[in-house]
Amino acid sequence: MEKEEILKKMREEKLVSVLRARDQEEGKKLVDAVIRGGIHLIEITMTMEQGNPVEFLQTMCETYRDQKEIVVGAGTVLDAETARQAILAGAQYIVSPGLNTETIRLCNRYRVPVFPGVMTPTEAICALEMGCDVIKIFPGNIVGPSAIRSLKGPLPQAEFMPSGGVDTDNVEQWLQAGAFAVGTGSSLTVGAKTGNFEAVTAKAREFVHAVAEAKEKVRR
């Protein structure tokens, strides 16, 4: 899928699942659970207590290669070296908790969407100057939805995707504030802590429903 298609899908669906697994077995169950719940944008973080996250990423990319509605990316990418490994493993987009210029340059070189994390106008301007189409606001729970409105005042051309603290009870606020999309992790996958992956699927369905309702309200 081309860069423009990935961004279009993200803009339309507006929901990215951020999956942080302890090991590959749990990771596979998480991916399966959120897909069953109707979430198609999968962000696999490069943090794994046991096992190689890049190998797991590659396995998931290969597993869902023929399912065009599923888009798998890499999250918690801290540097260009990890970004390169992730892209070679099949990652269709790259997400970082911070702003690393070398990572952005590398992703732009290969026309892979990259979403760097920012908290300040200075960082947001830097990301725009580096050619980022969408900027991640992280941690979202610290700044809240009002951060998007504030940043869009001086930067109306910027697109923002919050991650951290996004839940079904506030996703409407984020979208009303102008979020390009939202990323959700711990609130989505809390059931996995006790091995209850059906709860993860149920929560994914809740998120899909909440986002659909919020999108309708934003259009009015």
β-bridge mates for residue 135, sequence order: 160
β-bridge mates for residue 87, sequence order: none
Q: Cα(first)–Cα(last) distance of the chain, in Å?
A: 31
Angstrom distance (rounded) from CA 140 to CA 121: 15
By the 10 Å C-beta count (0-12 exposed, 13-18 middle, 19+ buried), 111 is classed as exposed
CB 82, CB 46: distance < 8 Å = yes
Q: How many Cα atoms sit within 13 Å of 99 on the Cβ side? A: 20
203 catalytically annotated: no
> CA angle, 28 as apex, 2 and 15 as ends, to 5°?
50
Angstrom distance (rounded) from CA 150 to CA 121: 9
Structure-block tokens of residue 154: 């001086």
Selecting among 13, 26, 43, 159, the annotated active-site residue is 43
43 catalytically annotated: yes
Selecting among 9, 14, 136, 203, the annotated active-site residue is 136
Structure-block tokens of residue 199: 């709860």
Q: Is the dihedral of CA 164, 166, 167, 170 positive or negative?
A: positive
Which are the catalytic amino acids? 43, 136
